[in-house]
Amino acid sequence: MVIAIVDDDKAVLDAMSSFIRSLGYRVRTFQSGKAFLDHEGIGEIACLFTDIQMPGLSGFELHDIVRLNRPAIPVVLMTALADASVRARALSSGARCFLEKPIAGREIMNCLSGIFDA
């Protein structure tokens, strides 16, 4: 199973990919929504974690595109700048999980369990 992570912060990509790999998943990382959408292996993606606030294509915009074109891919939205309106928008948009940075490993595990064990 391949998990995609999209974040413009390389440190976040490195930490999350290392942790998710330790759970037994394969991981693909992307530093922009455009890079993810341009990826030829998008069909192998089982779940997408994306930051909300990124230059260019935002996580909300990426989520909308994925829902339109690949509705079977569950999307997890994450941000360091969460307020009640961001959380409400994320959850009402159909995101499977909403995670606030810094993200604890337990939160990632719970999110993945909720997606794949449901």
Is the pLDDT at 14 greater than 70, yes or no?
yes
Nearest to 9 by CA among 23, 30, 25, 37: 30
- 51-78, pLDDT tens digit by residue? 999 999 999 999 999 999 999 999 999 9
Helix (H) or strand (E) holding 62: helix 59-69
How confident is the model at residue 53, as a pLDDT? 95
- In terms of residue numbers, what domain contains 39? 2-116
- Give how far the C-alpha of residue 91 lies from the chain's centroid of Cα atoms, to the nearest Å: 13
Check the CA dihedral 105-108-109-110 and report its sign: positive
Q: Whole-angstrom Cα distance, residue 103 to residue 82? A: 12
Kindly compute the dihedral angle of the four CA atoms of residues 69, 73, 74, 75, in this order, to the nearest 10 degrees.
Answer: -60
pLDDT at 27: 99
- Provide the domain count of the chain: 1
Percent of the chain with pLDDT over 90: 92
CB neighbour list of residue 101: distance below 8 Å, 6 or more residues apart: 12, 78, 79, 80
pLDDT at position 101 over 70: yes
pLDDT for position 118:
61
Q: What is the pLDDT of residue 87?
A: 87
Q: Residues of the chain with pLDDT > 70: what percent?
A: 99
